[in-house]
């Protein structure tokens, strides 16, 4: 029986860099506003490749198709947050938060129930797109 799965012998553990900044300002009437920015950049992330497969078949028909796990993927995430709240006064407090974010990667399917291999092993850069968990706009509030 032949094996149909392999891992790069030079596989590297993924890493992430995270940065953020937040500015807060208090206005009259107990209104507090925060504006923040968060960012993250990941590298050496997991990606599943299928080096012997093309859109029309196998590159080498004498070898079977196989999955190859590698650490060539990357990710980028950025978010801008705006939070405004009215401090408790006469038993009432209000708060609203708006987030605008964008996440881009070339391996967001990894870690799910079924990994999705790269579509074109000869052009891994073409795999980059919006992350499967990308949410652009989010608005929440409470009182």
Q: Domain residues of the chain, as ranges? A: 5-142
Give me the residue label for tokens 């004498």. 62
For 10-52, the pLDDT digits (tens) are 999 999 999 999 999 999 999 999 999 999 999 999 898 888 8
Q: Would the pLDDT of 97 be above 90?
A: yes
Average pLDDT, the chain: 89
pLDDT band at 109 (very low <50, low <70, confident <90, very high): low
Lowest-confidence region among 10-19, 97-106, 110-119, 122-131: 110-119
Q: Does residue 106 or residue 115 have the better pLDDT?
A: 106
Q: Following DSSP, what letter does each residue of 22-68 receive, concatenated?
A: EEEEEEGGGEEEEEEEEEEEEEEEEEEE-TTB-SSSBSSTTS---EE
């Amino acid at each position: 029986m032949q094996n149909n799965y392999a891992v790069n012998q030079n596989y590297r553990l993924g890493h992430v860099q995270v940065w953020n900044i937040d500015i807060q300002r208090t206005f009259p009437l107990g209104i507090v506003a925060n504006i923040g920015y968060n960012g993250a950049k990941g590298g050496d992330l997991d990606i599943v490749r299928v080096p012997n497969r093309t859109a029309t078949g196998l590159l080498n028909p004498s070898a079977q198709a196989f999955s190859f796990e590698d650490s060539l993927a990357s990710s980028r995430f950025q978010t801008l947050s705006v939070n405004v709240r009215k401090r408790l006064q006469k038993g009432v407090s209000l708060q609203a938060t708006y987030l605008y974010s964008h996440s881009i990667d070339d391996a967001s399917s990894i870690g799910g129930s079924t990994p999705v291999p790269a579509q074109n092993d000869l052009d891994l850069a073409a795999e980059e797109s919006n992350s499967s968990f990308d949410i652009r706009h989010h608005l929440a509030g409470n009182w």
